[in-house]
Structure 1
Amino acid sequence: MTSETADSRWAELLEDASTIAEEYRENGWDAIVLEPEAVSPVEREDRTGLDVEVSAEAYELVESLVDSGDVTVTAADVYYRPPEDDDERRIALVVERDEETETGVFVPLCYDLDDSRSVFETALVEEELLLHVTTAATDAETEGWVSFSHDDPSLFLEESDVRDWDR
């Protein structure tokens, strides 16, 4: 996949996230669409999973909702898009939902499978993939992050990816 194709698929995903979020709003939900600046694997003592770097403003909004206890994510949908050709990039839209308060946080993702292999292997064994919303300025020593847990990491992968790793 060329960079142009990847950029086009990413732009389509962001557009779809906005469209789906608008449908949620029309049904009375509060919907927050994040626009990640970067998505990268993280394997540290304090957190493992995918770091989803967003603007400071977006992070503060998500953090205030979750930390205040106003929003408790009780469900999630993962809209995974298969790669084109032999591309190692994976694209997905995750909708973190609080059914009680009717709040949805939309998290578009684009991640490189080769770079993320170890994270996904661990997640498949532990049956939990964590998405950590953070900012570029986040320092694990002094700053925080908001984590969303997913108990079926295979939803973020091709079936063949999972089969290959089971060997």
Structure 2
Amino acid sequence: MADTAATAETYRDRGWTALELHPGDSVLVDSAARTGLDVVLPGPEYEELEATVAACEFTAVEAYRAEADGLMYLLIVERDPENETAVLVPAYYDPGGSEPKLDAIREAGEFALFCRRLNDEYVRFVHTDIAPFLPAGLADG
């Protein structure tokens, strides 16, 4: 979370609007409804995200990753350069227990980030360059 705050502050220092999200849980999913990374947000943050997405067009992404203690940690920064707006999503998942889900992501050729609330409403960000979101060496199989 400290990295998220520091990165958000960097954007703000450059004059951008930065929305920091604080997911309660994150997990890789592969179902008929969703394939990708699913993060659960508190209601007020979800509503702020919805309003931000309605006002912006997110066309760029920065992804920071680190592997430690058997987990993949991500800081995903969805960016709208034209409106100088960034949404920062910290997340994590267990790659060791997620091989079939990682295979599904590779087969789809896209990485989807689902920011959702408990009632299953969600905002989706999709990226065709999957490498930044997967453990080193796994993007190509």
TM-score, with structure 2 as normaliser: 0.91
Structure 1 unaligned runs (5+)? 1-13
Number of aligned residue pairs: give it.
141
Query: Quick check: 1:130 aligned with 2:112?
Result: yes
Query: Partner residue of 2:56?
Result: 71
- Runs of 4 or more above 4 Å deviation: none
Q: How is 1:1-167 mapped onto 2 (pairs within 5 angstroms)?
A: 14-66=1-53, 68=54, 70-81=55-66, 83-84=67-68, 87-135=69-117, 137-139=118-120, 144-162=121-139, 166=141
User: How far did 1:35 drift?
Assistant: 1.0
Give the Cα–Cα distance (whole angstroms) in 2 for the partners of residues 146 and 116 of structure 1.
Answer: 23
Given that residues 129 and 151 in structure 1 are in contact (C-alpha distance below 8 angstroms), is that contact kept between their aligned partners in structure 2? yes
Q: Which has the larger radius of gyration?
A: 1
CA RMSD, aligned part only? 1.6
Structure 2 unaligned runs (5+)? none
Between Structure 1 and Structure 2, the one with more strand by share is: 2
- Counterpart of 2:105 in 1: which secondary structure? helix
Give the Cα–Cα distance (whole angstroms) in 1 for the partners of residues 59 and 3 of structure 2.
Answer: 23
Give the Cα–Cα distance (whole angstroms) in 1 for the partners of residues 48 and 139 of structure 2.
Answer: 34
Give % identity.
34
